[in-house]
Structure 1
Amino acid sequence: MPRCAACSDGSVGYTHPKPGETGPGLGPTLARGPAPTSRTRATSSKESAMPTPTLNERLRYRFDVWMAGGTVALMGLLALATFVFVVILGFITWIVLALARDKTSPDPNEGPFDFMWGSLMRTLDPGTMGGDRGWAFRILMLVVTIGGLVIVASLIGIVSGAFDSRVEQLRKGRSRVLEKDHTLILGWNSKVFSIVQELATANVSRGRSHIVILANRDKVDMEDEIRAATQGLGKTTVTCRTGDPKSLRDLEIGSPHAARSIILLGPADATDPDIDVIKAALALTNSATHADAKYHIVGELTGPDNLDIARLVGGDEAKWVVGPELIGRITVQTCRQSGLSNVYQELLDFERNEIYVTDQPELIGLTYFDAQLAFENSTAIGIVRGETVMMNPDAECVLQAGDRLVVIAEDDSTIKLGRPLVVDPVGMAERVSAPEKPERILVLGTNSALPSMLTELNQYVASGSDATIVTRDEVQNIPQLDRLSVTLQRGDASQRSFLESLHPTSFDHVVVLADPATDPQQADSRTLVTLLQLRDIARHDGQDLNVVTEMLDDANRELAEVTEADDFIISDKIVALALAQISENPVLAEVFDVLFTSKSSEMYLHPVDDYVELHTDINFTALMEAARFRGETAIGFRRAAHARQKSEGYGVNLNPAKTERLSFAEGDEIIVLAEA
């Protein structure tokens, strides 16, 4: 047969007919169109190679699909099986008894439907067959009874399985909470326990309150850990739910649209927790249920480099706390002033005095110092004017309409105006400011807070100051500083011989930093060993050391107090306290930003004899007047005799009663807000 030149695949065995031609050997397929291509033939061969499913396979597949339908499908299948079983057995019973014509058997005149009904009753309630008559009927009813046992057992198993499945779903915490005006915590790390404890304390005056935690963890495990780590939650209820805070669908489990405030925490096991926090904020601000009312979000960040993108995502609905920066700033201020960490601890927690923002329209037109004298049980420390927070403003600054006062009080319910106080007429002491001189700081250990700490320290010290940083690893991102020179030295600060070679008593301040990269208990243990070595070296040299220590676990503070370190900074707890405070009042984010930086007024502890005469019977208004004369705001005092007594609050007394009679001794200090 001739080969067609038009065939591209080289196929032979037929000739192309002319249009409409049908000749010998040309089937109808060839007459209708061109020859099949290689792709068509390959497809056809594959289809022909696939085996045709058998009836058994089809039925099994349909059964599997039906079984996947869940509890309702299973019960429907069981009902169908029961119906078929009852119909068949009832019909067989009717036929057998009709053929037997046994007078001792049940009434043979009953129809098939009567026997079907009787079979159904025996199926649903398998009972005794003692009243049955006739062996044929007894045998058939025995079959019905056995079938009924199987059907009822299957029904019980299906219902029990469905109930267990539902309980398991509830255990996993996937149901949506229906609370309103609650605090929603998205994420989970070690700070969640302090946050829950502080919020419960803050909610004491509010009555029954709710905290909802949504995290990608097991619900029961979260509840057990919170129950073990917290105590005295009072009327505060903690509800845990399992879900991904970054998922738009899972977010609705926590009802964020009904929450009073939302706290974002980075997961402890994440490589970059800030990414998770920012994505959760993005999900919140773009959720379908985001109402016209704005969210009140406060989020934790671990890196200042992520702050700009976080602000872009959160907009004016979110406040951000950069943990390392906050710890670094507090560490810097504390290392230069012994006892300041206890002041910050009291201001940040909800146990005694904390910071509030209050409207007092009766004070409009009065000066800031007049406002200070208007409170007996509260202490005014600043003014909020629009979006601006002014801490320690000029004493003659006049309050305008719309201004709010920043005050220190035990509770918002105690912020009440009284009769204007009269300044105690007492002679003020003369204070001579000592000239600045270069300082030497020894930093033992490094962590992510070190760069911001050095930057902040550079704002306080005099030119020519020096910081020696001791680390076991290389230090990255040392900032450019103009007043402070930085010296790096490799070594292990927990080794006695190495510490002695540093001559720690020659430094003005010593800072011991914890390493968050290791286990918190192990890191605190290394810190404890270093403190014991430092204290022994100082005792051996007959010198005193100003030591500030960062710890990770507050439970280790009491044990570490035997080292007589001047200040302890519990980093995780301080960040948690700041988050809890801002979640209750978003204005506090700006207040803390002013207090914890060198750009405005901050906390100082000054010798009280620089303000008033010692051993003189006065009240606190005398200290307020002496501080006003120096452009400062007096907020409390510290007793040197109680500086190491935990039961006495380490000597710190903030917001004292203004008319209480006081007398100060050598070493006592006044706590003021002042410019650097």
Structure 2
Amino acid sequence: MTQHTPHLWSRLRYRFDILMAHGTPVLIGWLTAVCLAIVVPASVVLVGASRDVPTTAAGWGAAVWRSVGQTLRLGGEVGSPVYVMMSVLLALVALLFVSALVSLITTGLHHRLLALRSGRSPVLEERHTVLLGWTDQVFPVITELVAANADRRRATVAVFADRDKVGMETEITSRVGGTGATRVVCRSGSTTDPTLLSVVSPHTAKAVLVLPPEDPGGDAHVVKTLLALRATGPETRDCVVVAAVRDARNHPAAALAAGPHGHVLSVDDVVARLLVQTSRQPGLSLVHQELLDFAGDEFYVVPVPALTGRTFGEALGAFATSSVVGLRRDGGGMVLNPPSDTRVGPADRFVVITEDDGTAVLADTPPAVDEDAIVTARPRTQAAERLLLLGWNRRAPLIVEQLASYVPSGSTLDVVTLADAAAVRGACRPGRLDVRFLRGDTTDRGRLAELDVPSYDRVLVIGDRGHAVGPDAEPERAADDRTLVTLLHLRDIEQSAGRELFVITEMTDDRNRLLAPVREGADFIVSDRLVSLLMTQISENRHLAALYDELFAAEGSEVHLKPAADYVVTDRPVSFATVVESARRRHECAIGYRLHAGAATGPAHGVRINPDKREPVRFGDRDTVIVIAED
């Protein structure tokens, strides 16, 4: 057997490693020897190459010494041996002192940089917004906060999570982009440790948002974070705390942990309600998207002293560029769509939809109303419906329960899933909705073909997370992947049948929605983005929490899309003020419309929220008016 002979370079590296292992004294000795071996011969050459070459040996020695001394910062002084020795000693002391000083400064700066990069330095801010936790919701929340702070000179968002600070900053930069006048700072630590939590100064903040983790134990983590938040110091009414839990069963515990001034959203309840409401009215998800983000017009609570003593009905037509939808009464109670004859008190504030709180101003002259264009709604009867639910997850029982409170008597719901049939039936309460279980895989094209999907009035597609009812058995993203495959099959069925299917889809990640093989303007409920928008809106105005509770509940007033022909004539242009007046006579608040001609054109897809009441609009038979009403 032949032996491998190491290369010269390998042997040199091996010798160098051995040398390094001997420690600092040996390294200093070798470094001195190498320096002298290079500097002394080079100094001799320099002296020999100079213009004034010494003629004596003593002159050569003095000249070489000066060159060596200047190169090694030893002074290079000549004279008596004592003088030379003392000058060398002083030079060495100065060299050691400067070296030690530079080393100390470098080490201190290095430690300081490491401390800053570790994200443990305190945030000395006031009236800032704090985000606790790290999920994909961080990015839409920061995006909306940046939009909300666009007109402010200086705003700060502090993100605190048990992750690397630099990694968080890099991901925010790549996912959010420029933040304008809003400064985003990140700090690292456990959100359930009160000592570490104080780093982001939560009790000097204007709002604290606790984001729900995606893992099965995420709700427990939210509760512990809320308890830690209260343990950091006394509660203040100036700081609004907004949190979210995914499982509705954990909502009471989280609400107790948040305290009397906190607001806790139940992701399951909100998503289930919106899915059902959207299943009743095509395009409703687009309307909620417009109302919840900060890009266009949204809800504000504003005082209007000039309307004190007037009725709510009179206030509906008093604004040209804002839509009145409710009142916040003296004492803090929120009333959405109150009776038209409700008198406005001196301490009442109006709930309006407008571009900004500064744009809610009274019109100099109330917009004109065309009485001849107002019509009486035609009576309509509701027929029994056939509904199809594809998939099953933790929210499914809530969806079935909500559907039962909306649909006409005699309606049926077919549930297709691989979940256990007995568990599914046990989760569905009997009511006026007849629920049938059909076992099958929603990603199986053949099984969907057997269902005759085009025969159903509405199809709801939800994330199928595992084959058992209860806690999620699969990650959220895997459920979205199954949903995308199901939508692909439904799209193929739609094209084969030559008939447009009315499909409402639930997803978790908004990026997956962009991949969905559906027509433009289709209805999607993206749970993470929806909850992010809600949390951001409430963090900016705590009074909106009660408003959203009523909007998303089956009882009380909510958003509806109703035929425009029920309000005004459709054969000529009319002002939106005329639509508002027609809606008022039906005890409703008109806030916009959707034109069918633009339904397939993004980004608005025909939806117009809070149009100028003086602008004319011509409606067709398939156009709808967006109102807030009880129904």
Q: CA RMSD in A?
A: 2.4
Distance across 1 between alignment mates of 2:144 and 2:623: 30
Distance across 2 between alignment mates of 1:242 and 1:396: 54
Change (3 A) 1:194 1:480: same
Q: TM-score when scaled to structure 2?
A: 0.82
* Local SS of the residue matching 1:176: coil
More deviation, 480-489/154-163: 154-163
Once the two structures are superposed, the pairs formed by residues 3-152 of structure 1 within 5 Å of their partners are: 127-131=74-78, 133-134=80-81
More deviation, 408-417/259-268: 259-268
Q: State the 1:637 CA deviation.
A: 0.6
Q: State the 1:562 CA deviation.
A: 4.3
Matched, 1:393 2:342: no
The residue aligned with 1:532 is 488
- Structure 1: gaps of 5 or more residues: 1-121
Once the two structures are superposed, the pairs formed by residues 200-599 of structure 1 within 5 Å of their partners are: 200-268=146-214, 270-288=215-233, 290=234, 293-385=237-329, 386-418=331-363, 419-474=365-420, 478-515=427-464, 518=474, 522-560=478-516, 562-563=518-519, 566-599=522-555
* Local SS of the residue matching 1:499: helix
Q: Is the 8 A contact 1:266 1:277 kept in 2?
A: yes
Q: State the 1:541 CA deviation.
A: 2.7
Q: State the 1:291 CA deviation.
A: 5.9
* Local SS of the residue matching 1:646: coil
Once the two structures are superposed, the pairs formed by residues 151-170 of structure 1 within 5 Å of their partners are: 153=99, 156-170=102-116
Q: Is the 8 A contact 1:426 1:618 kept in 2?
A: no
Q: State the 1:515 CA deviation.
A: 4.6
The residue aligned with 2:611 is 656
Q: Which amino acid aligns with 1:667?
A: R
Distance across 2 between alignment mates of 1:132 and 1:445: 97
* Local SS of the residue matching 1:597: coil
1:257-289 deviations in whole A, cap 9, x for unaligned?
Answer: 211111111334x5421222222222222323x
Q: Is the 8 A contact 1:373 1:422 kept in 2?
A: no
* Local SS of the residue matching 1:229: helix
Change (3 A) 1:565 1:506: farther
1:315-347 deviations in whole A, cap 9, x for unaligned?
Answer: 221011111211111110111111010000000
Q: Which amino acid aligns with 2:124?
A: L
Distance across 2 between alignment mates of 1:249 and 1:571: 32
The residue aligned with 1:60 is none
Distance across 2 between alignment mates of 1:153 and 1:445: 70
Q: State the 1:218 CA deviation.
A: 0.8
Matched, 1:632 2:592: no
Distance across 1 between alignment mates of 2:217 and 2:352: 37
Distance across 2 between alignment mates of 1:344 and 1:596: 10
- Structure 2: gaps of 5 or more residues: 1-68, 466-471
Q: Is the 8 A contact 1:535 1:564 kept in 2?
A: no
Distance across 2 between alignment mates of 1:526 and 1:435: 37
Distance across 1 between alignment mates of 2:79 and 2:540: 77
Change (3 A) 1:152 1:267: farther
* Local SS of the residue matching 2:259: helix
The residue aligned with 1:675 is 630
Distance across 1 between alignment mates of 2:392 and 2:115: 45
Q: Which amino acid aligns with 1:235?
A: A
Determine which structure has more spread, i.e. the larger CA radius of gyration: 1
The residue aligned with 2:124 is 178
Instruction: Give 2:561's match in structure 1, choosing from 587, 599, 605.
Output: 605
Q: Which amino acid aligns with 1:491?
A: G
Distance across 2 between alignment mates of 1:380 and 1:160: 62
Distance across 1 between alignment mates of 2:538 and 2:498: 44
1:553-609 deviations in whole A, cap 9, x for unaligned?
Answer: 323334426445731222211110000000001111110110011110111111111
Q: State the 1:540 CA deviation.
A: 2.2
Distance across 2 between alignment mates of 1:382 and 1:638: 22
Change (3 A) 1:526 1:394: same
Q: Which amino acid aligns with 1:595?
A: L
Q: Is the 8 A contact 1:546 1:565 kept in 2?
A: no
Q: State the 1:673 CA deviation.
A: 1.3
Aligned length: 549
Change (3 A) 1:215 1:491: same
Distance across 1 between alignment mates of 2:546 and 2:235: 25
Distance across 2 between alignment mates of 1:651 and 1:293: 41
Q: State the 1:292 CA deviation.
A: 5.2
1:182-233 deviations in whole A, cap 9, x for unaligned?
Answer: 1111111110100000011011122321111111111111111110111342
Distance across 2 between alignment mates of 1:397 and 1:584: 28
Q: TM-score when scaled to structure 1?
A: 0.77
Q: Is the 8 A contact 2:484 2:517 kept in 1?
A: no
* Local SS of the residue matching 2:387: strand
Q: Is the 8 A contact 1:444 1:493 kept in 2?
A: yes
Q: Is the 8 A contact 2:251 2:265 kept in 1?
A: no
Q: State the 1:132 CA deviation.
A: 5.2
The residue aligned with 1:622 is 578
Q: State the 1:128 CA deviation.
A: 3.1
More deviation, 666-675/303-312: 303-312
Change (3 A) 1:543 1:587: same
Distance across 1 between alignment mates of 2:98 and 2:597: 79
Change (3 A) 1:525 1:302: closer
Q: Which amino acid aligns with 1:388?
A: G
Runs of 4+ in 1 over 6 A off after TM superposition: 139-148
The residue aligned with 2:35 is none
Distance across 1 between alignment mates of 2:262 and 2:236: 15
The residue aligned with 1:18 is none
